[in-house]
Amino acid sequence: MESLQDSVVTQPRERPAGLVRELGLLDSAALVIGVIIGSGIFLVPGSVAGRLESLLAVIAVWVAGGVLSIFGGLALAELGSSLPAAGGLYVYIERAYGRFAGFIYGWMGLAIINTGSVATMAVGAGSYVAPLAHFSAAEQKLFQIALIAFFTAINCFGITVGKWVQNALSLTKLGGLGLMIACLLAHGSSARLTTHWWTPMQDLRLAPFGIALIAVLWAYDGWHVISFAAGEVKNPTRNIPGSLVLGTSACVVVYVLANVAYYSVLDPPAIRTSDRVAAVAVETAMGSGAASVLTTLIVISILGAINGSTFSTPRATMAMARDGLFFRSFGWVSPSYHTPTTALLVHGAWAAALTLMGTFQDLFTAVIFTAWIFYGLAVLGVIVLRIKEPRLPRPYSCPWYPVPPVLFVVATTWIVLNTIVTDWKRALSGLILMAVGLPLYALFRSKNRTKQPPVARP
């Protein structure tokens, strides 16, 4: 027989007491754009070019990554409109598959997915600032930790402060990227683009395309973040779908244009041998002084992504704690600032610790592999809940259902399997970390049985 505690979590959720709905459509879209456009478009193109020979293949993989992200966004938009509570993917996975699956996602979000993403971005920012500031290795690490601490503090002091910082950083980065693309295209060569447009024998290989796609998906990571803050979005049935589609589509356009701009200035060998393609392209086209200006833009872009992730992802840990699946103090919401302060501080502290444990490449590969397992489960949850709960109110329905969730899940399965084959050591480390969640789940379930069941949410 189902226990009272298990029946509680199948009830419709509302936002936890203390959170306030302050995010409009533009605020929500700024959060999506701000988190997606971080360091990826500046750091990833070199590794993509190393796998793909032609500009056409490069554009195709960036478009494919964008389409996958939009498909995922359309699916999550349905879930977000049906379950407009803080917690995002944790809420959807727990509702579709049960408490154990929800806990494993929440655990992995805290252990590596969400905190590791913030750590990766901080490491990327440090790699750009260090040469200009002449940081030693130790000073670079301190800078990375200071960034995380700064944005954690900002987001502890209220959603209004966090959203205005996010809006300002997102607008600045979009303007700066637009200016960079325009300048590169103005100094670039259409003949160079034509020369490197297509090499058919190389472009037909699927394995390199799959490896490149994994790198591209890191650059798109963040399309789902608005779901974590669903309990703080005004008119969520309209603004969650709108911000997901608007924000992700804008990023696809920016990413494709940026890659065309890089190839208009640089030959493929120069792109393949650089992990700082944007800086090399700007310096080639406009001189070293312009490259210094670009570094400022890159850092601002990364700061926007750090702030957005810091703002949104701790809401999943908060929701898990409020369901009795984690330390209850992690579910505390400040009555003064309306923020999940404990969850924010713990996420910030662990993200700072992760910066000391790995390089950019180590962190982003671990994050992408584990994250996409749960992205696939969350999107598949659209189909699962349509079968399990056909009467669940769906103010927004995924368009062209079931095509977007099916294609997304197929692609996700391929990405995960491809990672296991091509980088099995990092994949194994992610699976081991998931296994660590098994005794933790048993511990919290055991502790929770001795306490009063949580109050049902109306």
| Residue 148: band (very low, low, confident or very high) from pLDDT cuts 50, 70, 90 | very high
The pTM of the full predicted model, rounded to 2 decimals, is 0.83
Task: Compute the average pLDDT of residues 13-39.
Answer: 81
**Residue pLDDT, tens place only, 397-439:** 898 999 999 999 998 888 788 778 877 777 787 788 888 889 9
- What is the C-alpha R_g of the chain? 21
Contact (CB, 8 A) for 102 and 422: no
* Neighbour-count burial for 448-458, b at 16+ CB within 10 Å, e otherwise: beeeeebeeee
For the chain, the structural domain boundaries read 22-447
Q: Is the pLDDT of residue 218 over 70?
A: yes
How would residue 458 be classed by pLDDT, with cut points 50, 70 and 90?
very low
Residue 147: its H or E element: helix 137-156
User: Which CATH topology does 22-447 take?
Assistant: Amino acid/polyamine transporter I (1.20.1740)
Contact residues for 224 (Cβ-Cβ < 8 A; gap 6+): 72, 73, 76, 88, 89, 244, 375, 378
Predicted pLDDT of residue 105: 94
Q: Using 50, 70 and 90 to split pLDDT, how confident is the model at 381?
A: very high
| Contact in structure between 383 and 402 (CB atoms under 8 Å) | yes
Model pLDDT for residues 270-324, shown as the tens digit of each residue: 888 877 788 888 888 888 777 778 888 888 989 999 999 999 999 999 999 998 8
